[in-house]
Copies of this chain bind each other. A is one copy, B any other.
Amino acid sequence: MGKNIEIRFRHWVYVDGIKFFGPGRVALLEGIQETGSIVKAAKSMGMSYKKAWAMVDAMNTYGQEPYVITQKGGQQGGGAQITGTAVKVIEAYKILNEKLLRIVEAENELLDLI
């Protein structure tokens, strides 16, 4: 039986040499979008709230526009939603992902050698 050989890749956006956006932040933003909450999104990823908050804060601080808007207070202890900027960045990130995937899927030489 042949072995299952595949190429996997990841890509990130760096701003001034610091990781700004990548697969982890896409997942976090999508989790916030789904649950309306940073706490719940972090929990669903097995990530600490502290780390999730630091990610949100970094995006909101270093991006041109905020990525996540939080509301304080209320019966649910506040909530969070992602902005139109976040939606657009996620979309552009995924389009690039598709482009890279097409290159990787067309790659045979490397796989045949392994």
Residues of A within 8 A of B (CB): 3-17, 20-21, 62-64, 85, 88-89, 92-93, 95-96, 99-100, 103-104, 107, 109-111, 113-114
Contact = CB atoms under 8 A, between A and B. Distances in A.
Contacts of A93: 110
Nearest to A85: B113
Nearest to A20: B114
A14 B10 contact: no
A27 to B, nearest CB: 17
A93 B20 CA distance: 26
Nearest to A106: B99
Contacts of A16: 3-4
